[in-house]
A = this chain, B = another copy of it.
Amino acid sequence: MTDDVYDIDTASSALGDGVRHLDLTDRWNTPLGRPNGGYILAAMLRGLGDEIGSDSPLVAAITYDRAPSVGPGTLTCRTRHAGRRIRSGEATLMQDDRTIAQLSASFGERSGDRHLERGAPPELPPAESCVDPRGHGLPPGGIFDRVDYRLSDVPGFFMGSPSGESEYALYMQLRDGRPIDRPALAFLCDAFAPPALELEGVSNSMTIQLTTHLYDVPAPGWLAARFTTRHVTGEFHDEDCELWDSTGRLVAQSRQLALLV
């Protein structure tokens, strides 16, 4: 047994034939009082991985159909392909006979030592000299008690004056430095306020679809994250996230399409 909150809250139990029971707790709620989408993704990814027989997801694409509720849900998993290098499958989360989210993911181990990086981590002061946004406009409770954040400055939105610049750079880790596996990387890609909040007249954003690339388990220490919205058209916008580990490696990246509300 574990007493780790992340382990407990993202676990699901097998009922046979690819069906699993999953309890969504209120410990990962957003300020809107619903379980965070990244938390749902991590729990679904762990459950699908258990069914597929791999704890090494490489890419995970999730579509959010309806707002989730705290409470029980049913995860129905299907392994589509078990190849030599890549295993792929899908999972659907239902609550009260309604589809909440659908996940497609591919699993596999990295091999080979080729490396190319055309990007760079965000430039941030040392974490020790950064600000903890809790107590500076980031409401306590739910997900914001499960993740530690450090920023060079408190974002404008949190102080009631959006900056107009739809980008956030910050440090992130699971609370108290709990080690981060690949499903937790997927969670962290959607575990901060959307940078679209820095645009004038935006009060919230709902994710429609999120795809995460999970390259590697990070080295211990803070992750440096960059969240960017580059493109808004009508009420739709993109949001990219990059996660860089303490050795300067890109360990995950994601892109989502979301709806301004």
Contacts and interface: CB of A to CB of B under 8 A. Distances in A.
Interface of A: 58-59, 61, 63, 65-66, 80-81, 83, 85-86, 88, 90, 92, 99, 102, 104, 106, 110-119, 166, 199, 208-209, 211, 213, 215-216, 228-238, 250, 253, 255, 257, 259-260
A2 to B, nearest CB: 30
A61 B104 contact: yes
Given A61-B104, A66-B83, A119-B231, 9 more contacts: A63-B88, A65-B80, A65-B81, A116-B237, A119-B230, A211-B255, A213-B238, A215-B231, A255-B255
Given A114-B235, A211-B209, A215-B231, A61 B63 contact: yes
Nearest to A254: B255
B90 A102 contact: yes
B99 A232 contact: no
A58 B233 CA distance: 11
A148 to B, nearest CB: 26
A232 B99 CA distance: 35
Contacts of A81: 65-66, 99
Nearest to A92: B80
Given A209-B59, A211-B209, A238-B213, A166 B116 contact: yes
B80 A209 contact: no
A225 to B, nearest CB: 16
Contacts of A209: 59, 61, 104, 106, 211
Contacts of A112: 234-235, 260
